[in-house]
Amino acid sequence: MKKVLILGCGGFVGSHLTERLLAAGDVEIEGWDISSEKISQHLGDPRLRFHESYIDAETTWTELEPIIQDVDAVYSLAAVCTPAQYVSSPVKTIQSNFIDAYALIDLCAKHRKWLIHTSTCEVYGRTLSSYVKADDYDDLDLYEQREDETPLVMGPTSNNRWSYATAKQLFERYMLAHHQENGLPYTIVRPYNWFGPKMDFIPGRDGEGVPRVLACFMTALLDHQPMQLVDGGDAWRTITYIDDAIDALQAMLEQPKGSQNQIFNVGNRKDGEVTMKELAHLMREIAAEITGRPEYKDHPIEEVSSGKFYGEGYEDCDRRVPDISKAQSRLGWEPKTSLRETLRITMEHYFGKYGSSAA
Ligand code: UGA
């Protein structure tokens, strides 16, 4: 029987992880989040103890210490992770991703408890290719992201886009510092655009603000509004199905020898890469297939500047190509789900949940 603490068990990733670990059987979970909506079907399970609370440094020391002493591993998944907020609310972004969170590292280090932290591929920032203007990406060394080699390349501090990436970077550095000085056992995960049911929210239906690209495009399809391509939609992303990502998080827990004291990229290198323009076109096609409404194939797409869409201080990551050889060799992990299948499953969930009215 394994005992784990999951901080952020009610979020997108946390809800999928909680469900998976409960389904796998032999586990006891202490789950913390500000909302339990995404895991409501599991609240009656005696193996899950849910605590509805925001975690800051004070609650970490007062409420989490006895729990941390009692568990085998801590998953830390809670984060503010939508780029619109990095630009509009950089204080909240830095606060939630570092200031309110770093006490967890102190506490895990004190009790030598294994901390499995979900960081972000955004710590790499932009590619070196984009800075040397090698736009054709002809040198893999200038854009492939390797956990223990690639430099982290961010824009100036005046661009608040990087508030999140730098907070996450400092969190990683603080974990590594505690490992070196105090023997903290750690695993750092860098997710590459994990997509799936229950991601983010649909503005006006179950949340307010600007979510990430999947939910933005879905909202446009559901509301019969144009899909908006920021700065022409030329940025690339590597999209990874949430169940494949959860395979990796589960494998880490099951294989401590392979996963401890390592950083892992978790992304669908094989066939998940797409530009935002291609993503919009693909989502239109799949919307037509799912709903049986061929008019979706011609759903309007319009271009918008990043200044207008996000406000001042936005800067994009041009491309994210993960080297995943470490996850393959140390965990035996491989993404299995194609981009098309990922989108089909995810979009079916959104159309099922929110309906699709005729245009
Ligand atoms: C975000 C987070 O910052 C990362 O930490 C996280 O790892 C990542 O999401 C993730 O989902 O894993 P990003 O990919 O830039 O990073 O966020 P999105 O909002 O999903 O944007 C992706 C791209 O789509 C960007 O180029 C953005 O400008 C564009 N976009 C977004 C559009 O073209 N239209 C929209 O309506 C929204």
Separation between Cα atoms, residue 208 and residue 212, nearest integer Å: 12
Q: Which of 85, 120, 237, 239 to mutate to test the pocket of ligand 1 (most atoms within 8 A of CB)?
A: 237
Query: Which 8-state DSSP code applies to residue 187?
Result: E
The protein residue with its alpha carbon nearest to ligand 1, atom 7, reads: 120
Both structure tokens of 11: 């979020």
Q: Residue 19 CA to chain centroid, in angstroms?
A: 17
Among candidate residues 164, 186, 192, 241, the one labeled active-site is 164
Nearest to 266 by CA among 311, 196, 327: 327
**pTM of the full predicted structure?**
0.97
Find the 160 Cα to ligand 1 centroid distance in Å: 15
Q: Which of 85, 87, 193, 346 to mutate to test the pocket of ligand 1 (most atoms within 8 A of CB)?
A: 193
Nearest to 317 by CA among 164, 119, 92, 154: 154
- At 359 the pLDDT is 42
The protein residue with its alpha carbon nearest to ligand 1, atom 19, reads: 212
Residue 175 sits at φ, ψ, to 5 deg, of -65, -45
User: At which residue do the structure tokens 């661009």 appear?
Assistant: 159
Name the maximum alpha-carbon separation found in the chain.
Answer: 61
Q: What is the CA radius of gyration of the chain?
A: 20
- At 326 the pLDDT is 98
Alpha helices in the chain (DSSP H): 12-24, 57-59, 65-70, 83-88, 90-94, 103-110, 128-131, 162-182, 213-223, 242-254, 256-259, 276-291, 306-310, 325-331, 339-354
Nearest to 184 by CA among 78, 110, 264: 110
Separation between Cα atoms, residue 127 and residue 320, nearest integer Å: 8
Separation between Cα atoms, residue 243 and residue 250, nearest integer Å: 10
Find the 235 Cα to ligand 1 centroid distance in Å: 9
The protein residue with its alpha carbon nearest to ligand 1, atom 12, reads: 193
- At 308 the pLDDT is 96
- At 15 the pLDDT is 98
Q: Which of 13, 89, 93, 212 to mutate to test the pocket of ligand 1 (most atoms within 8 A of CB)?
A: 212
Cα torsion through 222, 317, 91, 245, rounded to 10: 70
Indicate if 164 belongs to the active site.
yes
* Ligand 1 lining (C-beta closer than 6 Å): 81, 83, 120-122, 164, 191, 193-194, 212-213, 216, 228-230, 233, 235, 237, 276, 316-317
- At 358 the pLDDT is 44
pLDDT digit string (tens) for the chain, length 359 residues: 899 999 999 999 999 999 999 999 889 999 999 999 999 999 999 999 999 998 888 888 899 999 999 999 999 998 888 999 999 999 999 999 999 999 999 999 999 999 999 999 999 999 999 998 876 798 999 999 999 999 999 999 999 999 999 999 999 999 999 999 999 999 999 999 999 999 999 998 988 999 999 999 999 999 999 999 999 999 999 999 999 999 999 999 999 999 999 999 999 998 999 999 999 999 999 999 999 999 999 999 999 999 999 999 999 999 999 999 999 999 999 999 999 999 999 999 999 999 865 44
Find the 193 Cα to ligand 1 centroid distance in Å: 8
User: At which residue do the structure tokens 């100036």 appear?
Assistant: 156
Find the 23 Cα to ligand 1 centroid distance in Å: 31
